[in-house]
Amino acid sequence: MPIAEYRSKCVTADDAVKVIRSGDWVEIAFAASVPGLLDEALAKRKDELYEVNLRGGILITPLACMESDSTGEHFTWNSWHFSRYERNLAKRGLAYYIPVKYSEVPRYIRENVQTDVVAIQVAPMDDHGYFSFGTSTSHYAAAIEKARAVIVEVNEDMPRVHGGYDHIVHISNVDYVVEGGHRGLPQLPSAAVCEMDQQIASFVLPEIEDGACIQLGIGGMPNALGQMIAASDLQDLGIHTEMLVDGFVDMVEAGKVSGMRKQLDRGRIVFAFAAGTQKLYDFMKDNPSLAGYPVDYTNHPFIASQNDQLISINSALEIDLTGQVCSESAGTNMISGAGGQLDFVEAAYNSKGGKSFICLPSTYKDKKGQINSRIKALMTLGSAITDTRPAVQYVVTEFGKINLKGLSTWQRAEALISIAHPDFREGLIVEAQKLKIWRRKS
């Protein structure tokens, strides 16, 4: 019986983490799914462990392990996608980014990287012996396949989430169970929406039609668009996304989402992981309209593109005059990561009636208080290219919207300069002339 096997595997967090050895790679935390008791227990073992590589991403709460070791001799953080906390760890030499195309992460785990121990948080076991991964389906099933040992920390507050596949683990595939009681989930409040976000979103909203299938990234602009969709006359929208955020709940509660025109997972909200406020976590609890999938399903361009009118909306840090997009670093300093942006840029363009939007404010203020253009003649030295120039479709700033598909280099430069901040347009024209990508028309 599952319950007997469950009881036989119950141990304390301190006992469970004894399975971790020096030199191990441990898959441990991702977004809202953080095994706090296991993290704290592992931190206690700091002085007896060396070169333990912890792996996860999008940390929205500090890790005791990383806070316990200022030297990096004992624990090193390896991230699929940086958060603000992880950026700070990186500045201290304690964290490193893993370049990814997010749809490929389960394959990386199965074929390329070392995974010795999985230590993750799950929802309580059901009557059939299954634990739901809850807020983070993502790549956990692949990690469990490869691990020497699997530890689950049961959080009574983790929502049990319905899924497609690889969203659960059976007690027979678990080595240790740690009961965590009610621990809550770390919350990620929606980014504040400013007037500029609203202006950019207002250029995108008219491109969305009834029955469209929506993917939103994270940030003020996607949040603004979610609010606008919730207040619009749009109907029968679908959702197929990597990250489930509060904005989608607003759209559902406003009656804008039915999913009945989707070609895949009809009537269901498809996602790989979730992070937001308690409103989102409450919405997720045993909700049959949700379908948590591994990221090689949600983000695979061939799969996602099978939904007609797939609309992908993502943010960027800068773009050069040929259309290359950076969404992950400021020069050599990692800000976030590639995530699934390129996955959905490709998927939306290949969807029947689909559209991909890269959205960014036209300027930013640097540490000296100076205003700089995000549209640049050349990328900042060291900036990572997230989306190659042939892949990019629509680019939107507060000054307008352009479509780069099929444009030559001079046309691209002209189009991008047209949506740059007016104060920088003449300077960009001069730079474009030096690069020989400006064609002066009579």
Domain ranges of the chain: 2-179, 195-434
Global model pTM greater than 0.85: yes
Backbone angle region of 328, left / alpha / beta, with phi > 0 → left and psi within -120 to 50 → alpha: alpha
Q: Which residues pair with 372 in a beta bridge?
A: 364
Low-confidence ranges of the chain (pLDDT < 50): none
DSSP letters for 307-356? STTEEEEEE-SEEETT--EE-SEETTEE-S--TTHHHHHHHHHHSTT-EE
Which secondary-structure segment (H or E) carries 346?
helix 341-350
Give the model's pLDDT for residue 1: 67
Give the model's pLDDT for residue 155: 98
DSSP letters for 88-104? HHHHTT-EEE----GGG
2-179: what CATH class?
A: alpha beta
Give the model's pLDDT for residue 256: 97
Is 431 noted as a catalytic residue in this protein?
no
Give the model's pLDDT for residue 223: 75
Same fold, 2-179 and 195-434: yes
Which secondary-structure segment (H or E) carries 417?
helix 409-418
Q: Which residues pair with 122 in a beta bridge?
A: 154
Three-state DSSP state, 312: strand
Question: Residue 233: what are its φ and ψ, rounded to 5°?
Answer: -95, 5
DSSP tally for the chain: helices H, then strands E: 16, 26
Closest CA to 173 of 155, 146, 154: 146
- Which CATH number among 3.40.720.10, 3.40.1080.20, 1.10.760.10, 3.90.1150.10 corresponds to the domain 195-434? 3.40.1080.20
CA Rg, the chain, in Å? 22
Give the model's pLDDT for residue 439: 87
**Residue 205: how many other CB atoms lie within 10 Å:** 14
DSSP symbol at 407 = -
Three-state DSSP state, 426: helix
Given a contact cutoff of 8 angstroms between Cβ atoms, the answer to whether 26 and 54 are in contact is yes
Q: How far is CA 360 from CA 60, 364, 365, 421, in A?
A: 23, 10, 14, 12
Q: Which residues contact 85 (CB under 8 A, 6 or more apart)?
A: 59, 60, 61, 62
Q: How far is CA 307 from CA 241, 274, 379, in A?
A: 11, 21, 34
Q: Which of 27, 104, 242, 414 is catalytic?
A: 242
Quickly tell me which residue has 């606008």 as its tokens.
228
Cα–Cα distance, 398 to 382 (Å, whole number): 26
Give the model's pLDDT for residue 225: 84
